[in-house]
Amino acid sequence: MLTRQVTVALLLWLSCCASALWRYYMNSPEYSIFSTRSSINLEYEGKAFTSWKVPETCKVENTTSPKTKLHCKRSGTHRIAAVSGTQEEERHLTVDNSYICFLWYFTSVNVYENLSQIVTIWVYDPESASLEELMWTAKKPSLNSVVLSKQLSTLGQHPFIFTVEKRRMYHPGPLTSEGTWVIHLPMSSDDILKVIKEWSKTNLHDSLDKRYNLHWIFFIYICKIFDCDTA
């Protein structure tokens, strides 16, 4: 199962008895698939850093910077090493073939007058998202996300919310001019776990079986309203 964030850390013991740490990770915590399309962040924390060593099929934007980005143009398992002084610590990174992978972003407003929620959803690409979208502080989609959402809508696809316990489906209205879908949900303490899924006119079976990484976030958010136990 994919985790919300893939972080690989290595503890290095240096000659001065200090420690250092290096890791690689994606831009978005919701996106943990390394592919030939991905920008992979490399970070080294510690002293005496010299350079990054990567195979010819990969490229580092700045080999001598402790913080840089890695791109691999071929799929497979690649040897990535952090060089510090005379020491070289390596890790093996598996990169998949390039493919398009988008994620759902949502915001929610509580309406206590009628015990409902207004959920606004759009599509974003971790490789071209705004900083606010990557940090989950965005109130509206970025320009790139607006374009993606409109393309998805043109193909006859849209998100819907499925409740796991009572198996109810809530669909949005038409795509708004801001490039978002809006879904109205009732607050319910006995139907808390909700999943955002994709509805496709061309492939309904696959879309109904497809779950996105947002389902756990959505569950935690709903639980905050009712102070329920997520353990």
Q: What is the pLDDT of residue 221?
A: 36
Q: What is the pTM of this model?
A: 0.57
Give, for 7, the enclosing helix (H) or strand (E).
none
Predicted local distance difference test score (pLDDT) of residue 30 = 56
Q: Looking at residue 25, what is its pLDDT?
A: 81
Please, are residues 31 and 7 in contact by the beta-carbon 8 Å criterion? Answer: no
The pLDDT of residue 101 is 65
What local confidence, expressed as pLDDT, does residue 100 receive?
61
pLDDT at 230: 33
Sign for the pseudo-dihedral over CA of 107, 132, 217, 202: positive
- How far apart CA 148 and CA 124 sit, in angstroms, is 7
Alpha-carbon distance of 39 to 28, in angstroms, equals 10
From residue 124, alpha-carbon distances to 14, 42, 52, 152, 219 in Å are: 41, 23, 31, 11, 20
For the chain, residues with pLDDT lower than 50 are 1-18, 202-231
